[in-house]
Structure 1
Amino acid sequence: MSTDRTDYEQGLSTRRAILGDAWVDKSLANKTAFTEDFQEMITRHAWNDIWNRPGLAHKTRRIMVISVMMSLGHWEEFEMHVRAALQAEDDTRLTQEELKEVLLQNAIYAGVPAANTAFRLAQRILHAL
């Protein structure tokens, strides 16, 4: 049976694999006494309990997160996940073509205004890489 600490460590490993060490190190360095419990919770539950479930590949989960962030207009998280997906060095990496298809597909279901913003932000990220 797994412990909270094991769940945290497994979640932290997944979080680092998906977002990259630099981003995770920055997030953890910025935690405070007020945000520490939140960081622990998302690492255990989002990054371990959900991301490490066997039902979907991490690449599929990346696509889903990008789509949901676009749909809800959570642009900071959208940019973070797009950047991480384009820079991944494993089989979870999204190509520029795959990202474009994700945004086009989501434009139909989330709306053109969301797609306008998503394409603008993604283009800025692509130019910066």
Structure 2
Amino acid sequence: MSGRSSDQERFEAGMIVRREVLSDAHVDAANEKITELTADFQDFITRTAWGDVWSRPGLDRRSRSIAVITSLIAHGHHEELAMHLRAGLRNGLTVDEIKEVILQSAIYSGVPAANTAFRIAQQVFTEA
């Protein structure tokens, strides 16, 4: 073998990280919604996003959460933002640190994007 992980090994590693970052409850709920249409996509994101990228040693999970939150704010991916705000807390970010990330994003992604992010963060943090 060339030292590269098999698809199954990448999937298994990805599922471990996905569960650690997002929670068992979130992943179980997502898995219950898998259909024939979405099965290949779910396999793809588990292997690539979680098994390949989130599993890399170059950044810790707190740093990865900061990068993801910033990107989601910039691109207006609100549903994913709520999920990754929860993940950021699970990865050790504080509410104050997330507030600073959102403030920073106001400069580079725009005030409307940050305004929406603060609204979503308020909902997420009220739930927590």
TM-score interval, smaller chain? over 0.9
Unpaired segments ≥5 residues, structure 2:
none
Q: Which among 4, 9, 16 is matched to residue 6 of structure 1? A: 9
Residue 3 of structure 1 and its aligned partner are, at CA, apart by 1.2
Amino acid across the alignment from 1:42: I
TM-score, normalised with respect to structure 1: 0.93
Unpaired segments ≥5 residues, structure 1:
none
Counterpart of 1:123 in structure 2 is 122
2: CA distance, partners of 1:55 / 1:9: 20
Does structure 1 conserve the Cα–Cα contact (< 8 Å) formed by 2:65 and 2:87?
no
Question: What is the aligned-residue identity percentage?
Answer: 50
Counterpart of 1:21 in structure 2 is 24
Give the 4+ runs in structure 1 shifted more than 6 A: none
Amino acid across the alignment from 1:3: S
Q: Which among 74, 77, 90 is matched to residue 77 of structure 2? A: 74
Amino acid across the alignment from 1:93: G
Residue 84 of structure 1 and its aligned partner are, at CA, apart by 2.3
Counterpart of 1:110 in structure 2 is 109
2: CA distance, partners of 1:83 / 1:54: 22
2: CA distance, partners of 1:128 / 1:53: 31
Does structure 1 conserve the Cα–Cα contact (< 8 Å) formed by 2:102 and 2:117?
yes
Tell me if 1:93 matches 2:86.
Answer: no
Q: Secondary structure at the match of 2:15?
A: helix
1: CA distance, partners of 2:126 / 2:49: 30
Matched residue count: 125
Residue 128 of structure 1 and its aligned partner are, at CA, apart by 1.6
Q: Over the residues paired in the alignment, what is the CA RMSD in angstroms? A: 0.9
Alignment of 1:53-68 (within 5 A): 53-68=56-71
Residue 34 of structure 1 and its aligned partner are, at CA, apart by 0.9
